């Protein structure tokens, strides 16, 4: 079974500002990955080709990286996810930039059931939260973002992941809101 899943956000910001968000992934300055709401993206070394890690049960290795423009991660887990996900920056004007997240994979074995039943909804919510963070970081915004579906909220409760262990106990001043209920 083939999966092509694309999320994108047009941002009123220069391409280099959006590209800097990609370069900060998994760092202490990461403003793109929603680690306050989801398992943190972590690697065994700074972002570069060959860095291995992932988030939660999803594992991958950096297989392509053009600083400020693009990063691609090849899946190494869960079993049955054969493919990649990536962030790409497309600048179309001085303050008009598209940030795209693409997931392309072939599913084998049990992943043909777990992707549509579990992972897809969680993935979609996580990536929309990531694009919200990008918008807040480079273009401002109200900080509200989209509301998680009842299904996503139920899956997170079942998984015991209302708040990741890395989240602060109280919101920091100026931080965007906690999990939507």
pTM of the model: 0.86
Do residues 70 and 88 touch, judged by C-beta distance below 8 A?
yes
DSSP of the chain, one letter per residue? -EEEEEEEEEESS-HHHHHHHHHTTTSTT--SS-TTTSPPPEESSSSSTT-EEEETTEEEEEEEEETTTEEEEEEEESTTEEEEEEEEEEEEETTEEEEEEEEEEEE-TTHHHHIIIIIHHHHHHHHHHHHHHHHHHHH---S--PPPPHHHHHHHHHHT-SS-TTS-SSPPTTPPP----
Provide the CB-side half-sphere exposure for 1 (13 A, CA).
Answer: 14
Note down pLDDT in tens along the chain; length 181 residues.
Answer: 999 999 999 999 999 999 999 999 999 999 999 999 999 999 999 999 999 999 999 999 999 999 999 999 999 999 999 999 999 999 999 999 999 999 999 999 999 999 999 999 999 999 999 999 999 999 887 666 778 999 999 999 998 844 554 443 333 444 444 444 3
> Cis before residue 49, ω within 30 degrees of 0?
no
Domain 2-159 is classified in which CATH homologous superfamily? START domain (3.30.530.20)
Residues 6+ apart with CB under 8 A from 119: 58
């Amino acid at each position: 079974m083939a999966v092509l899943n694309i999320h994108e956000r047009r941002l009123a910001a220069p391409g280099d500002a959006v590209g800097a968000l990609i370069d900060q992934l998994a760092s202490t300055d990461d403003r793109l990955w929603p680690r306050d709401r989801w398992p943190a993206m972590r690697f065994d070394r700074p972002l570069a080709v060959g860095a291995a890690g992932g988030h939660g049960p999803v594992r991958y290795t950096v297989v392509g990286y053009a600083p400020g423009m693009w990063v691609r991660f090849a899946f190494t887990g869960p079993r049955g996810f054969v493919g990649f996900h990536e962030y790409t920056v497309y600048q179309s004007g001085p303050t008009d930039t598209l940030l795209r997240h693409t997931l392309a994979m072939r599913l084998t074995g049990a992943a043909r059931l777990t992707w549509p039943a579990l992972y897809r909804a969680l993935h979609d919510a996580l990536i929309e939260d990531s694009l919200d963070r990008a918008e807040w970081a480079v273009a401002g915004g109200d900080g509200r973002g989209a509301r998680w579906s009842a299904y996503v909220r139920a899956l997170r409760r079942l998984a015991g992941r209302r708040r990741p262990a890395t989240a602060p106990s109280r919101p920091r001043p100026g931080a965007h809101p906690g999990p939507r209920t």
